[in-house]
Amino acid sequence: MTDSVNKLPASKTLRGIRAWLRDPAPQSPFQAQMQLLWIQWRRFCANLSALFGLLVLLVIACAALFAPWLANHDIFAQNLALRLQPPTAEHWLGTDELGRDIFSRLLHGARITLYIAGLTALIITPIGLLVGTAAGYLGGWVDTLLMRLVDIFLAFPSLILALAFVAALGPGIDNAIIAISLSSWPPIARLARAETLGIRKMDYIAAVRLQGASAWHIIVRHIVPVCLPSVVVRVTLNMAAIILTAAGLGFLGLGAQAPSPEWGAMLASGREFMLNNGWIAAIPGLAILFTSLAFNLLGDGLRDVMDIRHE
């Protein structure tokens, strides 16, 4: 009897929250925003592939976050007597050519990969947004100048352009992030410009302009927030390309430097043993594959959720 009494208020509270979220006539902007988020979350949960991508990314993020506690061996300790061992109870994913534990290095390599991808996304998102919205709203010579600059960057494949930049800057993780960022922002600017060309003709933009607001105020306060959902989706979809580019730079020795356990560098060191000890190269390769696939699945789900034209 006591348990039923204790559960009653909780159930009433949950029903009240659901009714508040489903109210057809929201009483405040906050309630309307929460209702929109609730609808988007339900739509996202209905996409099983997007949920799978999110789950994989959460597992990888947790593995990277708790890598020092999950790793059961020193990632730099070498033991040539244990080199090229297959997976065992002691070394869950085997050892590499220097006797280092692959499982421990894989966990710490997730930190480097997510660091590169996350920091690159933080760099290219504001750059692409500002360049694209400024070109689309201001128009004229500003639009022409900025879009010709974007065309120059888009004329080269992103990996080739990143290779050129990192060759000029020098090898290393920080330089790799700068190089990848310089080659990844133009598609974001193109998308933001296309969105802005439609938004700038809307009535509320004209009303704000008539009130005397400056062009930069309109861009930052009224256009960028509207373009942001589409840009976030595009950046999420581009994360796979960023990870592959980072792995490619590491594979060529232009990204993370030895003995860093970066996945591309691990793949490069294991390619010599692929015929007889295939797990050395297969394990970091599969890690790159699943991480890229997870970002693509998540991006597809976010595109469905954040598309305001979706019914």
Distance from C-alpha of 55 to C-alpha of 293, rounded to nearest angstrom = 12
Distance from C-alpha of 266 to C-alpha of 257, rounded to nearest angstrom = 10
Question: What mean pLDDT is predicted for residues 80-104?
Answer: 88
Which range among 1-15, 74-88, 291-305 shows the weakest confidence by mean pLDDT?
A: 1-15
What global pTM score does this model have? 0.86
Tell me the CATH architecture of domain 48-306.
Orthogonal Bundle (1.10)
pLDDT at 192 over 60: yes
Question: What mean pLDDT is predicted for residues 259-285?
Answer: 87
User: What residue spans of the chain are helical by DSSP H?
Assistant: 2-21, 29-45, 48-65, 67-70, 102-138, 140-154, 158-169, 173-199, 203-210, 215-218, 224-251, 263-270, 279-306
What are the extents of the domains in the chain?
Answer: 1-46, 48-306
pLDDT value, residue 47:
85
pLDDT value, residue 111:
93
pLDDT value, residue 178:
93
pLDDT at 4 over 50: no
pLDDT value, residue 306:
74
Structure tokens of 261?
Answer: 């356990």
Instruction: Please provide the DSSP assignment of 259-301 as one string.
Output: T---HHHHHHHHGGGTTT-THHHHHHHHHHHHHHHHHHHHHHH
Q: What is the percent of the chain where pLDDT is above 70?
A: 94
